[in-house]
Chains A and B, each alone.
Chain A
Amino acid sequence: MPKNALKPREKKAFASRLSWLVHQQLFIPLAALALLILFNLIGDSSFFSIYIRTNNSGNKVLGGNLISVINDGSELAILAIGMTLVTAASGGQDISVGANMAIAGSVIMRILCGSASVANQAQAPVIVAFLAACGVCMLFGAFNGILVAYLKLQPMVATLILFTAGRSIASWINHAQPMNLKDPVLSYFGTYIPGIPIPTPVFIAIACMIVAALVLKFTTIGLYAQSVGINASSSRLNGLNPALIKFLTYVILGLCVAVAGFVKVSRVSTINYSNFAIDIEMDAILAVALGGNALSGGKFSMPASILGAYTIQFLTTTLYKYKVPSTALPAYKAAVVVILVVLSAPTFQAKATKAWKKLTAKSGAKEAV
C-alpha cells in the first residue's frame, strides 16, 4: 500500500465527516460560492482587488468586483429574508415582489416629487416617503396574506393577481410619467453618503439582517412558521393560529419589499414601471432554493437564504464581467442554476453515490487481486 494512503479506518472517518458536511444546509450555497470564486480567480487573479476610485459626485469610494456584488445584491438579500419566511409558513412563493417593489418606488417618487414629474428639490422628507412605501407595500402584502391564509388559495396563484396588476398600479400612481428627482438627498441612500466609501445599500442590507436575526432570536416566529408550514392542523391543536402566522409572513415580506424598493429607486432617483425590478421575484425564489430550503415549506435556514442571494448576485456579476450581454444573461443563469439544483437533489445524490460505490467496489476488488 502506498505510504501516504489513508488507513481504512481513517478513510471511513473522513468519509463520514465529509458526508456530514455535505448534508449541512449551508453547504450548497457555500459550495456554489466557492466554485464561482475559484472560477473567477482562475480567469483573473485580480478579480477581487479592491481599490479606491472617485465616483461621479467627486467622492473617494471603494470600487471593485467584490464591492459590486455585495452592493448590487442588497435588494435580493433583503427580499430573501421575507421570502424565506413566506416559503416556510405557506409552502409557496410570492411572485408579486417585483411588481410590489415597483409600487414602492412609485409611491416614493410621488411623495418626493409632489405633483410634478420632475422635481429639483424633494417635496417631503425622505423618511416620510419611506414610511409611506412601507405602509402601502405592507397593505399589499396583507392582501396577498388574506388570499393565502384566509381564502386558502395557493400562494403562487394568489400572488399571480398582484403580479398581473401591480405594475399597472405603480404606473397609475404617477399617471404613467417616468418621474425624475434631481435632489441628491435620495441618492445618498442608493449610492454613497458623502465621506463614506462603502455604498449605503450595503449598510441597509446589513441592518435588515441584524433586525431579522434579532426577531428570530427573541420571538418564536421561526418555530411557529416552521410548525405551521410542516403541519398546520397539528399546529392549531397546539394553540397556534396558522392563518394568522401565514398572514404575518406575507406582511413581513411586504415590509422587506418596501425596503428593497426604496434601495432600488434610490440608486437612480427615477423609475421605469415596466423594467423596475423585473424578474427579481425569480431571483428571490432561487435564493431561497439555493439556500437549501424546501420550496414546499417547513424547516428553513435564514443565513442560507441570504448566502444564496449573494451567490446569485455573484453569478450575475461574473457573467457581466465575461461580457455576457444583459439580455443573454438569463440563459447562463438558468444553466448554472439547473446544475446546482440537480447536484443538490437527493435523488441525484442517491444515484450518484450508488454509481460511485459500484465504481470504487470494482477498483477495490482489483486492488486486492
Chain B
Amino acid sequence: MQEGAVLEMRGISKFFPGVKALQNVDFTLRSGEIHALMGENGAGKSTLIKVLTGVYEKDAGDIYIAGQNGAVSIRRPQDAQKWGISTVYQEITLCPNLTVAENMYIARTPGSFTSWKKMNAGAKRLLEELGIPAEPGRQLGDYSIAVQQMVAIARAVDMDCKVLILDEPTSSLDEQEVAKLFRLMRDLRAKGVGILFVTHFLDQVYEVCDRITVLRDGQLVGEYAIENLPRVQLVSKMLGKELDDMAAIKDDSAADQAASGAPVLEAQGLSSSDAVYPFDFSIRQGEVNGFTGLLGSGRSECVRAIFGADHVTGGHVRVNGKAAKIRKPLDAMKHGIGYLPEDRKRDGIVGDLSVRENIILALQVLQGPFKPISRAQAEKYADEYIRLLEIKTASSATPINQLSGGNQQKVILARWLLTNPQYLILDEPTRGIDIGTKTEIQKLVLKLAAQGKSCTFISSEIDEMLRTCSRLVVMRDRHVVGELTGDDLNQTKIMETIAGGEH
C-alpha cells in the first residue's frame, strides 16, 4: 500500500448483463484528505461506491485497508462497517419510524439490551456538537430530509470511521446547511479521516476537495491534485472531448423575438395547497424563462401549481387568451403543457415498464382509454426518439430502470416531446446528469424556443439558467419577489434579488 493511504482499490471490475460497469479501476484515498470522485452518469461512480461498501460483489480486483495485511473481503455492508468504512447516501438510509437517537446508535451498541438513557444522552451531545436541530427522542420521520441527512452524517461521524463516503450529500441541502457540512468535513479531515466525496457540483468540489479522480465509461481516466486541474480541463476529461465555450450557446436574437410573441399562458393569483402564496405568471410563445431562488423557496411548487400537479386552491388561468381550468395534470396536458418532474425516480419513470411504454405513456393518456397505441406504432415512436435524443439503451423493450439516470431523463423528455406540447416545464432536468447530456438538454431547450415553443427551465445551477433563459422569476420563502430580464440577468443581480432587504 502507498504511504499515508487509508484505502486502495486495485483493478476493480464489475459486470452486469450486457454492461461493463467497471473495468480495471484503481482508486487511492489518503488519510486526512477530501477526495472527489467524478464522472458522467454511467461512468461507474456509484458502482465503485457500492463495491466498496459491500452492496455489490466485485468480479475482479482487490481492496486494501490501512493496517490490514493483504486484500480484505467486502461482501456485505456489515463487512464495510467492520473495516471502518462509513457511508452516507443521497437517499436517506435511516428508519423514519425510529427515534433520532435510535437511528444514530442502532446496530452499533454492544450487548443485547438497549439503554435508552445512554443513547439519548449520547445523541444529544453529538447533535449539539454538530449543530443539528433535532431532538434525540423525536421520531426521525417528523423531520425534513435535510435534517435526516445530517443525522445520518452524525451517525457516520460517531463511528470513528477511517473512510467516510459521502454520496451526493448536498443535493437536498441549502447554502447554510452545505456550509455546516463542509465545516464538518474539514474537521474530520484534520482528524485524519479520508473522505470520498461524490458530487456533480463543480463549485463545491473546488471549494473543499484536495484531489479528484475522474472515471469515464467504467474506466479510470486519472487522479489529480486539485491545484493542478482547472475546471475546463476537468470537464474535458470527463467528457473525453474539447468543450465549446458553453457561454456562447444562447442566441440573443431569439430572446428579442420571444419578447414580442403572443402569450401562451397567463396566470393570476395562482395558489396551491402546498403553501405557495398567490402569484402571477405569464409566458410567451418561443420564450424560455426560469424560476430561481434558494432551496425551499417554492420553485417546484409554483410550476406544479401551473401544471395542476398539486391541489390548486385559487387563481385564474388563461391559455392562448382563453380562460382555462387546470385542476389536474390531464387538464394541463390537454392544453398542450408538459412537465418533467424534479424527482425522476418518484414522479418521472415507471420503473418496470419498458423504454417504449414510458415514451408513449403521456400521448396514450391524451388519446384516451379506447384508442390504444398499437405495438408497431409505439415501437416506431420509441425508435424515432431513441435516435433523436441518442438514448443509450439495449432496445426499446428494456425496462427503463435498467438505464442510467441521464438516459432515463432523456426518455422522459422524449415522452413529452412526443405529445408536441406548446409549453414545456422542465424542473431540474439536469440534476444528477453528466455534463455532456446537460449541454444537450440546454441546447434542445433553445432549439424548441426557436421553433416557437415555450419553456420553463428550473435549475439549481444559475449558470445554466443564465445560458438559456431570457427571463428569470426570483423566489424567496414561497413568494415571488422579482422578475429579471435583459441586462439584469447576471449572478450579482440575481443574488441581490434573492437576498432582498437593505444593500
Contact = CB atoms under 8 A, between A and B. Distances in A.
Q: Taking the complex as a whole, does A directly touch B, i.e. does some CB pair lie under 8 Å apart?
A: yes
Question: In this complex, which of A219, A223, A235, A238 has the most chain B Cβ atoms within 10 angstroms of its Cβ?
Answer: A238
Interface in A231-250: 231, 233-241
A223 B366 contact: no
B353 A227 contact: yes
B365 A240 contact: yes
Contact of B352 (A218, A230, A237, A241): A230
Contacts of A236: 309, 329
A298 B349 CA distance: 13
A219 B351 CA distance: 22
A220 interface: yes
A258 B334 CA distance: 37
B347 A230 contact: no
Given A223-B357, A227-B361, A240-B365, A235 B350 contact: yes
A147 interface: no
Interface residues of B, number: 27
Contacts of A217: 372
Question: In this complex, which of A219, A224, A237, A241 has the most chain B Cβ atoms within 10 angstroms of its Cβ?
Answer: A237
A153 to B, nearest CB: 19
B330 interface: yes
A241 B349 CA distance: 16
Given A238-B329, A238-B362, A239-B333, A231 B372 contact: no
Question: In this complex, which of A220, A223, A239 has the most chain B Cβ atoms within 10 angstroms of its Cβ?
Answer: A239
Interface string B343-356: 00011111111000
How extensive is the interface on chain A, given as a class?
20 to 34
Contacts of A237: 307, 309, 329, 339, 341, 347-348
B358 to A, nearest CB: 9
Given A236-B329, A237-B347, A239-B333, A223 B341 contact: no
A218 B371 CA distance: 7
A226 interface: yes
A213 B460 CA distance: 48
Given A234-B347, A238-B361, A238-B365, A223 B329 contact: no
A219 B348 contact: no
Nearest to A233: B347
A267 interface: no
A231 B361 contact: no
Contacts of B16: none
Contacts of A298: 352
A224 B333 CA distance: 17
A238 B368 CA distance: 12
B100 to A, nearest CB: 27
A231 B365 contact: no
Contact of B329 (A218, A219, A226, A239): A239
A239 B330 contact: yes
B353 A226 contact: yes
> Majority SS of interface residues in chain A?
helix
Given A234-B346, A239-B329, A219 B370 contact: yes
A220 B348 contact: no
Interface string A192-230: 000000000000000000000000011111011011001
A237 B329 CA distance: 6
Question: In this complex, which of A223, A235, A298 has the most chain B Cβ atoms within 10 angstroms of its Cβ?
Answer: A223
A60 interface: no
A267 to B, nearest CB: 36
B28 interface: no
B364 interface: yes
Contact of B351 (A218, A223, A230): A230
A333 interface: no
B353 to A, nearest CB: 6
A299 interface: yes
B350 A227 contact: yes
Nearest to B330: A239
Contacts of A299: 352-353
B353 A219 contact: no
A311 B41 CA distance: 46
A220 B372 contact: yes
Question: In this complex, which of A218, A220, A234 has the most chain B Cβ atoms within 10 angstroms of its Cβ?
Answer: A234
Given A220-B364, A223-B364, A231 B350 contact: yes
Contact of B349 (A218, A231, A239, A240): A231
Interface string A167-185: 0000000000000000000
B501 interface: no
A231 B350 CA distance: 6
Contacts of A238: 329, 361-362, 365, 415
A219 B365 contact: no
Contacts of B365: 238-240
B372 A219 contact: yes
B348 A239 contact: no
A240 to B, nearest CB: 6
B230 interface: no
B131 interface: no
A235 B372 CA distance: 16
B340 to A, nearest CB: 9
Nearest to B354: A299
Contacts of B330: 239-241
Nearest to A298: B352
Interface in A288-306: 298-299
A219 B370 CA distance: 5
A224 B371 CA distance: 13
B369 interface: yes
Contact of A221 (B348, B368, B369): B369
B464 to A, nearest CB: 23
7 contacts: A230-B351, A231-B349, A233-B346, A234-B346, A237-B341, A238-B365, A298-B352
Given A217-B372, A223-B372, A239-B366, 20 more contacts: A219-B370, A220-B364, A220-B369, A223-B357, A223-B364, A227-B361, A230-B351, A231-B346, A231-B351, A233-B346, A233-B347, A234-B347, A234-B348, A237-B309, A237-B347, A238-B362, A238-B415, A239-B329, A241-B330, A299-B353
What 6 A-B pairs are tightest by C-beta distance, nearest first? Answer: A239-B330, A239-B365, A220-B369, A239-B333, A231-B350, A238-B362
